[in-house]
Structure 1
Amino acid sequence: MTNLILVILCLIIGILLQRLKELPKDAPKSLNTYLIYIVLPALALLHIPETELSLGLLLPVLTAWISFGISWVIFGTLGKKLGWSKATTGCLIIVPGLANTSFIGFPIIEALYGSEGLKIALMVDQAGSFIIVSSIAIIVASIYGHGKKRKRDVTKKILTFPPFLFFLIALFMNLLHLEFEGTVYEILQAFADTLTPIALIAVGLQVKINAETLSSKNLWYGLSFKLLFIPTLIFFLYRLFLDEGNILYKVSVMETAMAPMITGSIIAINHDLNPKLASLLVGIGIPLSFITLMGWYYLVG
């Protein structure tokens, strides 16, 4: 419950800080740079080396890949048919295509399904959402960002993207059964702990809630996809493979139903993929998801 209160509080703080004239206009971008170059690599080095890889967790992990793949197909197609800008299309592929499986997902899953549910959620996040946001999302951002980029440039961008680079290091550590301990671990943890407050304050700084923004069709396209369409698809599709009382089934549906991923919005904002829409998808999606998640919890039991 503390984490959920922190999420809402940080969003409100970010929105209120907009009133300060002393605040630099590029403050959100500076905060996002800190998150990408410091915090996300710290998270990779902390969690991936200690994650136990298991084939039994493949179905829950696949939910993240299914969600992003379908997001790319649907919004990529709609963008062409409805004449959206490339920036808007890229934003809608990335942000609604990724679920907030960690600092929204973890506390909710742990509260509902205990430590067993949390272990599954960790794999969904690390082997699903985190890999996608560190690699595939960068490809999408490069394709739909300003200017044409050569394949070599896109590949270089992925390989030099700090979270992806440190993901590879962390995966190598996992295979060698190496983990950080002592002072190094505590330092990494200290940086990792700043993710939620800094990321949400940065989002709050860019959220402009008014009649005009709430009437944006693109906003509701994205949130309808994220909070309703994809969870519905997983709800029915996974019934073919898992018993409805299976904890793997329950966590798969619930993690898919989480609000849009904050890190995905950071990627979109940093690549200038409709930053206003990216912020709104997260800023409105998070509180709205608390309501829709209650409905999904009732359905999966």
Structure 2
Amino acid sequence: MLLAMYSIFVFIFIGYAAKILRLVGNKQSGILLGFLLNFALPAQVFNGTYHAEINLAFLFMCLIALLCNICGTLILLLIGKLFRIDRESTIVLCLMGMLGNTLYLGLPIIKGALGEDYANQVVIYDQFVTGIPFAFLAPIMLSLGGKGVFSVSAVLVRLFKSPLFLSLLCGFAFRLIPFEIPKDLFVPLQSLAQTATPVALFAIGVQLELKGILDWKLTTLLLSVKMILAPLILFCFVHFVMGGFTNPWRMVLLEVAMPPLVSGVALALKAKLNGRLALNSVAFGLLASFMTIPLWLYVIAE
């Protein structure tokens, strides 16, 4: 676990250092993100979907995790109403409180904490709890920001234009084939998928911004709900209802405790909402995760 978090820190730091030293600019960063979103991550999603063990128990865990995220979002919305937080900031609180960095950061942490066997399940979890909800929330956020009108057709178009969602569908489709595909045929795909994590973490480092700390009260509120309260709700459910933690539930809790999703920043900026709050929540959420994730892992240890 510590080695995994050390590797995460190193990759992010290298990306941030490259940005500070101007070794990587917006053009190079765009190329990296294009490679990540259109090739490396779809390869990871397809490989994970085909090989992951998916059953009703796992889907139930994903549903409970999503409900815990929704509970956290409703709490943030209620606080926003009670304390009369401005509309743009309240929307960002709800958006960033709903979506976690369950793949870029979650995958290496889960692999380090629970082992390689859970890597494929993390990929499926990310799509059900983060990827697909993000596809639905994005048009809503843009319409609230005056960038268009929300419609079901816009959501569907966004979903079926997403390489990640299409690779998810392809992975499920290939599972229906009445014979098993030889593992050797997946070697090039797995090699491509292995580049996703370091490239994603490097890209996070390039986008990281630690200057201009504004809205620190709202940032603290957001991170407290997203990284402490939401996983605490899940902890209570598993402890009192399910009777205790197994490794799959440990994986789910750690994923719920992840800091806000990086893509949420781009969406907040595009919708002309409180982009600084979104950016702060990602930057300081990453830093806070190096304390909160080991703490949660200690709490749920056997």
Alignment RMSD (CA, Å) = 3.3
Say whether the 8 Å CA contact 2:230–2:257 is kept in structure 1: yes
CA distance in 2, matches of 1:74, 1:177: 47
Moved more, 58-67 or 135-144: 58-67
Pairwise mapping of residues 52-71 of structure 1 onto structure 2 (< 5 A)? Answer: 52-71=53-72
CA distance in 1, matches of 2:96, 2:56: 28
Distance verdict in 2 for CA 1:189–1:273, change over 3 Å: farther
Q: Matched residue pairs, number?
A: 294
CA distance in 2, matches of 1:255, 1:128: 9
TM-score, normalization: structure 1?
0.80
CA distance in 2, matches of 1:248, 1:183: 28
Moved more, 89-98 or 38-47: 89-98
**Aligned pair partner of 2:136 in 129, 136, 139:** 139
Say whether the 8 Å CA contact 2:49–2:120 is kept in structure 1: no
TM-score, normalization: structure 2?
0.80
Pairwise mapping of residues 139-218 of structure 1 onto structure 2 (< 5 A)? Answer: 139-145=136-142, 146=145, 147-151=147-151, 152-176=153-177, 181=182, 184-210=185-211, 212-213=212-213, 216-218=216-218
Give CA deviations for 1:124-173 in whole Å, capped at 9, x if unaligned: x3443223433220221111125123522332122212211221111111
1:77, distance to aligned residue in structure 2 (A): 5.5
CA distance in 2, matches of 1:168, 1:183: 22
CA distance in 1, matches of 2:233, 2:289: 17
CA distance in 1, matches of 2:268, 2:192: 22
Pairwise mapping of residues 85-104 of structure 1 onto structure 2 (< 5 A)? Answer: 85=88, 91-102=92-103, 104=105
Moved more, 215-224 or 106-115: 106-115
Say whether the 8 Å CA contact 1:64–1:128 is kept in structure 2: no
Say whether the 8 Å CA contact 2:42–2:164 is kept in structure 1: yes
1:244, distance to aligned residue in structure 2 (A): 2.3
1:243, distance to aligned residue in structure 2 (A): 1.8
1:74, distance to aligned residue in structure 2 (A): 4.1
2:230 aligned residue: 230
1:47 aligned residue: 48
2:126 aligned residue: 129
Moved more, 190-199 or 95-104: 95-104
CA distance in 2, matches of 1:21, 1:113: 37
Give CA deviations for 1:250-299 in whole Å, capped at 9, x if unaligned: 44333322333456657667777666544443333233212112322332
Runs of 5+ unmatched residues, structure 1? none
Say whether the 8 Å CA contact 2:62–2:125 is kept in structure 1: yes
- Helix, strand or coil at the partner of 2:242: coil
Moved more, 286-295 or 17-26: 17-26
Say whether the 8 Å CA contact 2:15–2:205 is kept in structure 1: yes
Moved more, 42-51 or 139-148: 139-148
Q: Matched residues, percent identical?
A: 24
Say whether the 8 Å CA contact 1:49–1:179 is kept in structure 2: no
Distance verdict in 2 for CA 1:25–1:93, change over 3 Å: same
Distance verdict in 2 for CA 1:199–1:36, change over 3 Å: same
- Helix, strand or coil at the partner of 1:259: coil
2:239 aligned residue: 239
CA distance in 1, matches of 2:148, 2:115: 47
Match for 1:136: what amino acid? P
1:60, distance to aligned residue in structure 2 (A): 2.8
1:82 aligned residue: 85
